[in-house]
Structure 1
């Protein structure tokens, strides 16, 4: 289905955006202030992972807070790997991006939330645990009504269109689309794991396409497992619940961890005990109507009994390596949101910095794209992209068992012959990092090593390299 006022054919497209999450939609709006934009999405406009984001958006907007304090907490969660320039950009620009959303029509809740790893109440919510849904819907409405943005649904990106060493558009399952700049905002890859909070389509297609075109990938070994996902379900129980006083109980009804410790710490503490219980009985459940309603539909009454939870693959920290303006190593190709590796999260994303990353770096990418020169007068014919590797139940099972919350060299080595490109690359990155740091835990290398206070970067045709980023 196509929803548009123009197709982009009348004038040269300034930007083609692939993906309809918060990063893609906000980038489109920012770029449309000066240029023509096309948004292409393989599913319905409102079917992105962003809609499932419950936690909120972190920003130093409280009287007792500052960007410097927000940065300190981000660095602490990142375990020595956060890119300093990216953290400064994220935390300093955060209040302005919240104001942008307010002006676009997002109705935020009163007060600020507290989540794990934050030293201040700085998380803004909309509709309690429905923040991602509320923000994405407002952005979609603004995109659809914008006269310089066209939207095409049900069209899948197969590859990138290249002229020499420049990306000049995308190749879809229906056509080739030329554009001065291309932005991949297709989300992460956490649905590659057997147990996940993500929709089935979040399998890193954008990352694989960019890599096959020559872009570098980085930090793939850092996959964040959310500690509290409803057992036998993909329903995530937001960290905001623990921020408001929900507690974790073992099989004997005893607390066993700091509920607001960084997610990797909490997730491993839960995994060590198998299934545990999240007790919501003492909190104000009325603040989270959507989430509580979802639990009731699953047959649980959180006012009466604690809820069984276990970790699940949730967030892909790594992705396509970009600079601080979202530009990849392939000229003309930008990447934003969970598809990107900006270095802002380091080894472990701080809660509620992900939607913020979409806004800050999505805008930066859009503004940078506006400055690109026009396309050459004559473009080469697009080449036929290689077929995407299928994601099978076996792949998902193997990643869960051999590259899960706790991994080892033996299991990771088994994945190097997997019939799936991104699985092999994830395993290669995890094998390279012979230490345990943040969301990457090696049973055979359980300590942190100063030698690995660097980022694992994978480039086509080359061995992994370790890099420091400013």
Structure 2
């Protein structure tokens, strides 16, 4: 049976952040492209990224230094080839964004010549962060959106959730040939056929109660790829950003690491600094160290939050370099030029994901993954600041090159199986979804958060198993909705996180287990396969 509601294109891109839109622009020179956007084009993790993008622009810096810093931050689990690949292509990736019109900040050198203003963030040994004030993600996203709007070869479907990938056996192997997508506009499921499908869906930090991410970060691509037979890796390494604003009216507002790069200090409620007690680099220590230090001090003192203070810097400097943060805090009654900001850690970035190669190919022919959804080996056990947007663009370009080399061999799929909802009904128990949602995010925060133990992980695993059965039964009997689709994906991602965490018998980077406080001598990536659910 053919699909009643169908689209067809050369390349389907699921996700509309920096990775997805960069790939769309590259492919659309020669191919027809459909971009699936779960929400509005400007709603995603890219848009809210504040800090910047790392690349070597300073003559005193070097690619090798960028590589060394990344490897160090990754705590022994980065893939050196991937790090070298990314750092060596960083400047070209940023030059491409500049050519598109991205307004990175500039300054004048001693000769009065304009140059890009470079800032420094945790883990970096040099100033190498290009930025647009403290709203770099917004600048990048709006620039990309401006380029794709009205592009004759790009069709954007806003308000569409990807449901599952469509595969077909071909020449004794399985290939990805499209995807099912649920429309928020009419609640119908559409079939989209494409010989090339790319996941650019971002991470899964919404699995935690407290997160800096927007609501759409529900691990959709990771869960869909896993269900389609792809391996995932390093899911135990979820980065908790150390400094999210602690305020009831701004629960996911991020306070950029660039604040600490420009001299902001972390302080206890009594005003005393504490980061030098934990690491020689103080406020510029890697994010995992800073997040654990804040978590430790909060628990030790029984405090609701710690504080980030940049009030000792020149007021005009602060307002000029951090206008978004300054204005947002001011609306909440906090003048950051005069007083410290209350902060707590929050789930921020998924360092693991769908296993890919340097061409962004997954295990499933026809399926690619780029950006936060992917595991390339770049981030290892801890992502260094401002490497994430860089990874999006570098691997979007790599995927575009590989897809372009395969276009002549690609054959469009016809007669895709239609979505069958003839045996399900509309739900009359939406409250079950809400209850399961809150339960999942709460116990993931409590048991699989910044500090873990074997017992906590075992408790989480038992609760996930029960939730999975409930959600499966619900999914089998009722028509899909946004909340049901996201919950289904989040509980799958939660299982992968816990399985990965239970397999790592050490504490490294973002994974800290009190029962295994030491480092292994020969650490390996945690790779899990749907075929055997084991690690390699």
Length-normalised TM-score, structure 2: 0.82
Deviates more, 1:162-171 or 1:279-288: 279-288
Distance 1:143 1:377, change over 3 A: closer
Q: Which runs of 5+ in 2 are unaligned?
A: 107-116, 183-188, 276-281, 299-304, 425-431, 468-490
Match of 2:88 in 1: 92
- Cα separation, 1, equivalents of 2:222 and 2:400: 19
SS at match of 1:156: strand
Give the C-alpha shift of residue 371 in structure 1.
2.5
1:268 is matched with 292
Query: Are the equivalent residues in 1 in contact too, given 2:194–2:413 (CA < 8 A)?
Result: no
2:177 to 168, 177, 188: 168
CA distance in 2, matches of 1:8, 1:74: 44
Shift of 1:14: 2.3
> Match of 1:112?
118
5 Å-filtered alignment, 1:277-292, equals: 277-283=307-313, 284-286=317-319, 287-292=321-326
Deviations 1:28-81 (A, max 9, x none): 111112211110112111111111101100001111111111000000000111
Structure 1, residues 417-452: CA drift from partner, whole Å, max 9, x if none? 31222211110000000111111111111111124x
Root-mean-square deviation (Å): 1.8
Distance 1:131 1:73 in 2: 22
Distance across 1 between alignment mates of 2:330 and 2:416: 56
1:371 pairs with 405, 414, 436, which one? Answer: 405
State the alpha-carbon separation in 2 of the partners of residues 139 and 377 from structure 1: 30
d(CA) in 1 for partners of 2:29, 2:413: 25
Structure 1 residues 22-421: aligned runs within 5 Å: 22-110=18-106, 111-126=117-132, 128-164=133-169, 165-173=174-182, 174-232=189-247, 233-257=251-275, 258-274=282-298, 275-283=305-313, 284-286=317-319, 287-372=321-406, 373-375=409-411, 378-381=414-417, 392-417=437-462, 418=464, 419=467, 420-421=491-492
CA offset at residue 380 of structure 1? Answer: 4.8
Partner secondary structure for residue 274 of structure 2: coil
SS of the aligned residue for 1:16 comes to: strand
Q: 1:254 to 1:210 in 2, by over 3 A?
A: same
Contact 1:429 1:464 in 2 (8 A): no
Q: Which runs of 5+ in 1 are unaligned?
A: 1-6
List per-residue Cα deviations over 1:192-245 (Å, max 9, x = no partner).
101110112211011101100111111100000011111142111100000001
Distance 1:71 1:328 in 2: 24
Which of the numbers 451, 458, 461 marks the counterpart of 2:528? 458
- In the TM superposition, residue 251 of structure 1 has moved relative to its aligned partner by 2.6
Per the alignment, do residues 40 and 380 of structure 1 end up closer, same or farther by CA in structure 2, a change over 3 Å counting? Answer: closer
Q: Kindly indicate which of the two structures has a greater share of residues assigned to helix.
A: 2
CA deviation after TM superposition for structure 1 residue 406, in Å: 0.3
Matched residue SS, 1:430: helix
- Give the match for residue 3 of structure 1: none
* Aligned partners of 2:194 and 2:412 also within 8 Å: no
What is the SS of the residue equivalent to 2:283? coil
Aligned mates of 1:180, 1:34 — CA distance in 2:
14
**Residues 307-335 of structure 1: CA deviation (Å, up to 9, x unaligned):** 11111110000111111111110111101
User: Which residue of 1 is the match for residue 480 of structure 2?
Assistant: none
Partner in structure 1 of residue 506 of structure 2:
435
Secondary structure of the corresponding residue to residue 314 of structure 1 = strand
Task: Say which SS state the counterpart of residue 309 (structure 1) adopts.
Answer: strand
What TM-score results when the alignment is normalised by the length of structure 1? 0.93
- Aligned mates of 1:350, 1:57 — CA distance in 2: 11
Deviation at 1:276, TM superposition (A): 1.3
Classify 1:82/1:303 alpha carbon distance in 2 versus 1 (closer, same or farther; 3 Å). Answer: same
Moved runs in structure 1, 4+ residues, more than 6 A? none
- 8 Å Cα contact 1:264/1:438 also seen in 2: yes
Given that 2:356 and 2:362 are in contact with CA atoms closer than 8 Å, whether structure 1 keeps it comes out as yes
Corresponding residue SS for 1:108: coil
CA contact (8 A) 1:161 1:382 kept: no
Mapped contact 2:66–2:87 kept (Cα < 8 A): yes
- TM-fit CA distance, 1:378: 4.4
Q: Which moved more, 1:371-380 or 1:428-437?
A: 371-380
